[in-house]
Structure 1
Amino acid sequence: MADIVLDQASTKADDRNLGWNFTVNLIDIAFITLGISLVSRDTVLPVLVSTLSDSNVAVGLIAALYGLGIYLPQLFTANFTERLPYKKPFVMLVGSVGERLPYLLMGAAVWVFAAPAPNVALILVLGCLALTGFAAGAATPAWYDLIAKVIPVRRRGVWSGLGHGIGALMAIFGAFLVGRILDDYPYPNNFALLFLLAFIATCISFVGLALNREPPSPIVKEQVSTQRYFRQLPDVLRANVNYRRFFISRTVVLLGAMANSFFIIYGDQRFGLDGATIGLLTATLVASQAVMSLVWGVVGDRMGHKVVLTGAAFLLALAALNTLLAPNQSWLILSFAFLGASSSGDAVSGLNIILEFAAPEDRPTYIGLTNTLLAPTIVLAPILGGWLATVAGFPVLLGVAAVVAATGGALLLRWVREPRRQPLVVRH
């Protein structure tokens, strides 16, 4: 039901523009996926941070600070962006200086400070990582509303899956390049070069974003004060029971991601991983993302995004469990395959499903509300993981993460109803 309403209420772009917009947004999502993979938060950045500091909490801050940046500001920009008839100018402004430039700055910080002043390099890298996350988060409600206008609901899963899949396929080559650069170039030039390449790839993605042909929004809400806007938000959770159940279930799943940044650290401590092996694991991660993004895209379009997120939650639990039980480093390949499949499901459906809970004029608010309320979990989960690893050891961390992620998957499976088959709740 909801998908029909969304299709009817979405801006009906000309058929000519649909093909164009589908293509340029593939360029955007594919190259930003490539760029991010070159300095992967699951493999490359944890290794870099572990060379700058021996603190497990510092490793946990990679996911915590990025998550805080990307999730917290969304609700604060949603009130502004849902009243813009055109979303692209705002997304381009924030996405250029705020989201992409920090990769170049991180490379410069590592190149200049990593050897003589590692603490300075650590602070600058983590600060720039938070900045790029903050900019991406601030732009997300407007960007996803732009996507909802130019790509209809029945094509979004294929678009998202294909875009992430192409980006991940390119990142397979990039992953082997990561291994070569880490082994063949001296530290810290190797990491600085990876940041430079990531910056170039994200700049190419910006070209795709800029080429969008955006129609005006069909419904633009009247301006309301920030205070009144925030007073209305609890009504969303009270009125939409299925959305509230989804939010609780999603919170549990994301808490189960507390061990993700520590897979590579645990593997390195147990088996001693060289640069080539880190490159192989990164390649495995992105290859899994490439294949499963395509699969999840089709599944999301045909069966609903709840199915995708449920499968992703159980795969996250399997990744932690397999890492815990790994008798040798070869088993880590399977762990990162599971992790890639899980993260690709999240990338394909994590935001797409939110669009199906909301009326078109409420989409930025639903996206911002969901992600801002998830911010504490996103931030605290990896910090909790670092604390557990320090006081109880990595095996306890991995076991707890597997149980929590599986619990979240069970909640999604049994408690949340497919939003496409539920009537929309309109916020007045």
Structure 2
Amino acid sequence: MEIAKNQEFIEKHLKKNMVLSTLDGVFFAFGSGMVPLATTIVYFVSYYIQNNILIGLLTTMSTVLINLPQIFMAKYLESKPNDLKVLCRVSLLQRLPWFFMGCSIFFIKDSRWMIFSIYIIYGLYSLFTGLSNVTWNDMMAKIIPIRIRGRFFGIRTAITSCAEFLGSLLCVLMLSFFVFPYNYGVVFILVGCFMMFSYIALMQTKEPDFVRNAKRQPFIEYAKDLLIILREDKNFTFAVCSIGLATLANAAANFRIVYAKTILPITPKDVALLTALWLISRSIFSIVWGILTDKKGYKFTMMAGHFVYLISYLCMNFIGGMGMLSFIFILHGAGESVVLAIQPNFIISLGGEDKRATYLGLAAILFTPLSALGPVLMGLLIDGLSYQAAFLGAGLLMAGMILTMYKKVDILK
């Protein structure tokens, strides 16, 4: 049944679907907050691996495995009438690896094989995360009407950010309560439990059937269609280019705390405070951006959010104490909330109903090399010139993003 003829179905289940989606997000974010890749996972791995290249490989592997497979899933979804039936399989496979990671710590005695298994299992988690992401976004665009999409995702992101913060606190408690390395095993298994609660809520979602393209074409033909989209849909192409500039710029965020440590006497308590300010800001501004999107449209909100990012990078050159650094982290949370709450729906809005999944997948695959290249470029700028040059470069890239969006992208909603 066509989605245009099923507004009654969507409206009938709208409140239930919004509540279920929020519960799904809360449980998933609570678990994710316990195991951020950049902190908990990398810190654990660093106990056994002293090679920075091998440690960095984990992040690179995760980025590639999350983004690249999305285009294959997007092609598959276009011939399927129902996303939830696909999501029930890939999301389960996304959540189960946490139990295996926890068990590997308890039962694999040889540390080399244990770490090897962690890499493999986390790689599987990343793969199924990418496949789940494009499917989930496509389904949510189907069941959440565009008139409230900005507010809903803004509020949802605010709530899940709070859950993520609470999850990080529980992680600290668990790590101090049990002995190493079994404390990490307990944390990983707990993450799996919370994510299974998330899965139960997700599976209660009500979704109408909607066939977009019943005929499945060979991938080589599908790839040609992708090139046609890039060549003919200039609006999408310039939107991706503008976000690509922001993706490169945001690699500088990885070096903020490192730079701050070189000029300020930062303590672990200071880091905890900065993290709290960042997450609180992300929660509050998710709601602000959501309301602004429904009133002013995606283009205006994307530009406003990335202007906040621009200010935060320029302020990095004027750090004189914890006050300015705290202000920068608040700005960073505000900017990041646009990327989390608004950007996926902005990309969705460019593709329309028929090509929604394809646009999501194509954007993901185009951002992959930029996500991998950004930290390298920023590292080269820091080593070759200075931290200030890297932050100034990030600011210029953000300015380029805003200018490209303003001049080249035409979208009202």
Q: How is 1:7-406 mapped onto 2 (pairs within 5 angstroms)?
A: 8=4, 12-41=8-37, 43-45=39-41, 47-48=43-44, 61=57, 63-97=59-93, 99-107=94-102, 117=111, 125-179=118-172, 188=181, 191-268=184-261, 271=264, 273-329=266-322, 331-389=324-382, 392=385, 394-406=387-399
Deviations 1:257-288 (A, max 9, x none): 11233333444555565544433332222211
Deviation for aligned residue 1:92: 1.9
Q: How many angstroms apart in 1 are the aligned matches of 2:287 and 2:57?
A: 31
Is 162-171 or 56-65 further displaced after alignment? Answer: 56-65
Aligned in 2, Cα 1:326/1:41: closer, same or farther, shift over 3 Å?
farther
Deviation for aligned residue 1:133: 2.6
SS for the counterpart of 1:96 is helix
Q: Percent identity?
A: 24
Aligned in 2, Cα 1:173/1:138: closer, same or farther, shift over 3 Å?
closer
Aligned in 2, Cα 1:46/1:373: closer, same or farther, shift over 3 Å?
same
Aligned in 2, Cα 1:317/1:145: closer, same or farther, shift over 3 Å?
same
Conserved? CA contact 1:13–1:215, under 8 Å: yes
SS for the counterpart of 2:208 is coil
Deviations 1:119-146 (A, max 9, x none): 7666555554443232121223322221
Q: How many angstroms apart in 1 are the aligned matches of 2:404 and 2:131?
A: 29
Conserved? CA contact 2:3–2:208, under 8 Å: no
Deviation for aligned residue 1:75: 1.0
Aligned in 2, Cα 1:136/1:174: closer, same or farther, shift over 3 Å?
closer
Deviation for aligned residue 1:377: 0.9
Is 42-51 or 223-232 further displaced after alignment? Answer: 42-51
Q: How many angstroms apart in 2 are the aligned matches of 1:272 and 1:185?
A: 30
SS for the counterpart of 1:357 is helix
Conserved? CA contact 1:66–1:133, under 8 Å: yes
Q: How many angstroms apart in 1 are the aligned matches of 2:127 and 2:48?
A: 23
Q: How many angstroms apart in 1 are the aligned matches of 2:375 and 2:115?
A: 17
Q: How many angstroms apart in 2 are the aligned matches of 1:402 and 1:8?
A: 43
Q: How many angstroms apart in 1 are the aligned matches of 2:18 and 2:217?
A: 33
Deviation for aligned residue 1:81: 1.1
Is 356-365 or 134-143 further displaced after alignment? Answer: 134-143
Q: Which residue identity does 1:70 align to in structure 2?
A: I
| TM-score, normalised via structure 1 length | 0.83
Is 291-300 or 219-228 further displaced after alignment? Answer: 219-228
Q: Which residue identity does 1:151 align to in structure 2?
A: I
Deviation for aligned residue 1:359: 2.6
Residue equivalent to 1:3: none
Q: How many angstroms apart in 1 are the aligned matches of 2:16 and 2:178?
A: 41
Q: How many angstroms apart in 1 are the aligned matches of 2:208 and 2:52?
A: 47
SS for the counterpart of 2:368 is helix
Give the gaps of 5 or more residues in structure 2: none
Q: How many angstroms apart in 2 are the aligned matches of 1:261 and 1:343?
A: 13
Residue equivalent to 1:424: none
Q: How many angstroms apart in 1 are the aligned matches of 2:316 and 2:44?
A: 21
Give the gaps of 5 or more residues in structure 1: 1-5, 421-428
Q: Which residue identity does 1:278 align to in structure 2?
A: V
Q: How many angstroms apart in 2 are the aligned matches of 1:83 and 1:213?
A: 19
Q: Which residue identity does 1:100 align to in structure 2?
A: R
Is 184-193 or 26-35 further displaced after alignment? Answer: 184-193
